[in-house]
């Protein structure tokens, strides 16, 4: 399986934001010859097939609801794609789908156009002429409204994590302690 996520493309040690990375689901790539095995494993683990408007021979969604004592129930969603797309290596040795491939899914196979990282990556690729591998670790992936920022505002985004957290706090994106 190839795990992919905007999380792994963002700077290491960054604070987690639901809207920064599209954390609503877990997206994985499964080689075609492993599809049946993955469906069996998900079923054994209590996941059920969920129909979506994106269903196809190369896309499936499986979900299960978990109820822990004393907590409200929560849903775990696996979106899995069949195939072996172009991948790059992200920090920590993770193999992730190349950003230009990820971006091709929005509006076709995926509906999270509001994801901050997606908006920033589109801008970095088109306006700033970044190569896909150059997007890895870019602080812009954590900044809401990056495409609307002026060039001066964009260049003021700090690269190091403590300063980036302070920058995001000043912009009202986060407050207080971060994890």
Question: Which neighbouring-strand residues pair with 78?
Answer: 26, 62
How do residues 49-82 score in pLDDT, each as one tens digit?
Answer: 999 888 888 889 999 998 888 888 888 888 888 8
**CA trace torsion 132, 146, 15, 12 (10° rounding):** 30
How do residues 74-84 score in pLDDT, each as one tens digit?
Answer: 888 888 888 87
Question: Which neighbouring-strand residues pair with 95?
Answer: 89
Q: How many domains does the structure of the chain reveal? A: 1
- Token output for 146: 């990056």
- φ and ψ of 173, to 5 deg: -75, -40
Residue 103 lies in a domain: yes
Residue 145 lies in a domain: yes
Distance CA(84)–CA(7), nearest Å, equals: 20
- β-pairing, 48-50 with 59-66? antiparallel
Domain hosting residue 90, numbered range: 2-170
């Amino acid at each position: 399986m190839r795990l992919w996520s905007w999380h792994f493309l963002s700077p290491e040690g960054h604070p987690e934001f639901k809207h920064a990375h599209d954390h609503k689901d877990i997206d994985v790539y499964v080689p075609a010859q492993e599809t049946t095995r993955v469906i069996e494993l998900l079923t054994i683990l209590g996941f059920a097939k969920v129909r979506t408007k994106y269903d196809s021979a190369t896309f499936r969604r499986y979900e299960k609801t978990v109820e822990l004592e004393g907590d409200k129930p929560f849903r775990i969603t696996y979106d899995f794609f069949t195939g072996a797309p172009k991948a790059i290596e992200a920090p920590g040795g993770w193999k992730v789908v190349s950003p230009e491939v990820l971006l091709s899914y929005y509006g076709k196979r995926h509906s999270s156009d509001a994801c901050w990282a997606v908006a920033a990556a589109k801008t970095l690729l088109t306006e700033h002429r970044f190569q896909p591998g150059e997007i890895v670790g870019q602080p812009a992936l954590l900044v809401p409204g990056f495409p609307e920022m002026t060039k001066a505002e964009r260049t003021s985004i700090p690269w190091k994590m403590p300063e980036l957290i302070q920058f995001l706090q000043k912009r009202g994106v986060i407050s207080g302690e971060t994890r």
